[in-house]
Amino acid sequence: MHVELFDRTVELDADRVRASEDEIRAQVGEYVAGERRTFDLPVTTPEGFAGEVAAEMRAIPYGETRTYGDIADALDTAAVAVGRACGANPVPLVVPCHRVVGADSLGGYSAGDGLPFKRRLLELEGADASATE
């Protein structure tokens, strides 16, 4: 399914979210309006390593970031592997991969229009996106 925010389209794998499209859109709208800090949508995450990365991403609080290296350390793996798993996230926003950044850059982002969209999400949350330009 597609959701619109900031005049951008974000693709969410609705098969992984056990909620109606109306509920998903409502929660995204509340998030953009600053009325929601977490999504309480039941999500089926991938199994294995990608699921472990997704769990780490979901644990990052609103307005905070973690580096690919932080997550790699927590999972005893390489940062590049974490980056690949983030890039394959089937439900961006709901599983907040935008909160994962490089040690000295924003890293990458596969939703919306890429890095400008990631920066905008971080700014919405009050995270310091300028420190990683």
Q: Which residues are known catalytic residues?
A: 97
pLDDT tens digits, 20-31: 999 999 999 999
Instruction: Give dist(CA 34, CA 1) in Å, integer.
Output: 22
What pLDDT is stored for residue 133 in this prediction?
47
pLDDT tens digits, 116-130: 999 999 999 999 777
Domain ranges of the chain: 2-132
pLDDT tens digits, 24-73: 999 999 999 999 999 999 999 889 999 999 999 999 999 999 999 999 99
What pLDDT is stored for residue 128 in this prediction?
78
Question: Are 45 and 51 a contacting pair, CB within 8 Å?
Answer: yes
Centroid of chain to Cα 7:
18
Asked if the model's pLDDT at residue 1 lies above 50, the reply is yes
CATH architecture of 2-132: Orthogonal Bundle (1.10)
Q: Is 43 helix (H, G, I), strand (E, B) or coil?
A: strand
Asked if the model's pLDDT at residue 110 lies above 80, the reply is yes
Residues 6+ apart with CB under 8 A from 110: 87, 88, 89, 92
